[in-house]
């Protein structure tokens, strides 16, 4: 029990330094030091569980340690989502519950790289076709929740082959370009935006979307172009 999740926490999946070395600015790191914990497939009640199953959705909470690994801020490994049956990639909805975050998004054709800043209560919708890494640039632990389709497996190969995302965030020097990437446009830094037509308004509780049985079809059946749908 804690302030951001009143329910039971199952055993988390943990990513350690050994799991992450292939995506770090300096890959010469090893050890079983945990960097983040993923509490997957949470529900507060049997009814909520039934709703999530029926909607083919997952609600997860992730806790990312503050600090750096050889000068690089602790982050998630990074992955893409596959295309949904409509030919559009699956989106994902995040909300910061504690701490602060950068969501480093990169389009699969690498024509767009965006760092979205998010504070407590703010939402970030990962648009279809964008890979994502979450970075904890703060001094506190970063706690975030996500709602995502339960119908696909994340794709890690590109991030593993490229040794991470297009940029690394360093304690000294800020954003530095990953030299393994081809020429890419400069990175945009933007604040987290709302998407009122999807009920995404900063400050409201993400879990209300589950307990209130809200319309979340766009997570399994995305439509339209990411730019116009998700204000990117
Ligand atoms: O899979 P990665 O890149 O380690 O990122 C972890 C995040 O992705 C998720 O699996 C959801 O996409 C979350 O559980 C977690 O926050």
Give domain limits for the chain. Answer: 13-229
pLDDT for 183 equals 87
Cα of 83 to ligand 1 centre, how many Å? 17
Beta strand segments in 138-219, E = 142-149, 167-170, 174-177, 188-191
The whole-angstrom separation of Cα 186 and Cα 143 is 28
Q: Is 38 in the pocket of ligand 1 (CB under 6 A)?
A: yes
pLDDT for 229 equals 46
Strands 113-118 and 188-191: parallel
**Number of the ligand 1 atom closest to the C-alpha atom of 132:** 3
Cα of 145 to ligand 1 centre, how many Å? 10
The whole-angstrom separation of Cα 112 and Cα 187 is 7
Strands 13-16 and 34-39: antiparallel
**Helix segments in the chain, DSSP class H:** 17-20, 46-55, 157-161, 208-211, 226-229
The whole-angstrom separation of Cα 35 and Cα 161 is 21
Cα of 53 to ligand 1 centre, how many Å? 19
Q: Is 65 in the pocket of ligand 1 (CB under 6 A)?
A: no
Q: Is 129 in the pocket of ligand 1 (CB under 6 A)?
A: no
Q: Are 53 and 35 in contact (CB under 8 A)?
A: no
pLDDT for 225 equals 63
Which of 12, 79, 131, 133 to mutate for ligand 1's pocket (most ligand atoms within 8 Å of CB)? 79
Q: Is 40 in the pocket of ligand 1 (CB under 6 A)?
A: yes
Q: pTM for the complete prediction?
A: 0.95
* Topology annotation, domain 13-229: Jelly Rolls (2.60.120)
Please report which helix (H) or strand (E) contains residue 94, including its range. Answer: strand 92-98
pLDDT for 184 equals 85
Best CA proximity match to 206, nearest among 165, 156, 149, 145: 145
> What is the token pair recorded at 201?
């308004």
Cβ neighbourhood burial of 177 (10 Å; 0-12, 13-18, 19+): middle
Q: Which residues contact 224 (CB under 8 A, 6 or more apart)?
A: 88
Cα of 39 to ligand 1 centre, how many Å? 10
Q: What are residue 38's DSSP bridge partners?
A: 13, 62
pLDDT for 11 equals 95
Cα of 76 to ligand 1 centre, how many Å? 7
pLDDT for 228 equals 46
The whole-angstrom separation of Cα 152 and Cα 64 is 23
Cα of 127 to ligand 1 centre, how many Å? 15
Q: What is the mean pLDDT of each run of 10 residues along the chain (232 residues)?
A: 83 97 95 97 98 98 98 98 94 97 96 96 95 98 98 98 98 96 91 94 98 96 65 52
Q: Is 154 in the pocket of ligand 1 (CB under 6 A)?
A: yes
């Amino acid at each position: 029990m804690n302030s951001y999740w009143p329910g039971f926490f199952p055993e988390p999946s943990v990513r350690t330094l050994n799991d992450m070395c292939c995506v770090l600015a300096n890959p010469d790191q090893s050890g079983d030091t945990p960097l983040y914990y993923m509490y997957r497939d949470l529900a507060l009640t049997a009814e909520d569980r039934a709703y999530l199953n029926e909607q083919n959705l997952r609600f997860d909470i992730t806790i990312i340690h503050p600090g750096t690994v050889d000068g690089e801020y602790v982050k998630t490994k990074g992955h893409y989502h596959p295309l949904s049956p409509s030919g559009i990639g699956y989106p994902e909805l995040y909300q910061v519950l504690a701490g602060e975050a950068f969501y480093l998004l990169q389009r699969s054709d690498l024509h767009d790289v965006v760092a979205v800043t998010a504070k407590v209560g703010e939402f970030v919708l990962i648009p279809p076709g964008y890979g994502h890494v979450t970075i904890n640039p703060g001094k506190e632990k970063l706690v975030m929740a996500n709602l995502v389709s339960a119908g696909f497996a994340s794709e890690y190969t590109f991030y593993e082959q490229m040794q991470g995302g297009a940029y690394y965030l360093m304690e000294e020097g800020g954003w530095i370009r990953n030299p393994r990437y081809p020429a890419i446009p400069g990175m945009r830094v933007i604040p987290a935006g709302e998407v009122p037509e999807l009920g995404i308004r900063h400050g409201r509780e993400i879990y209300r979307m589950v307990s209130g049985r809200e319309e979340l079809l766009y997570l399994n059946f995305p439509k339209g172009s990411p730019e116009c749908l998700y204000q990117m």
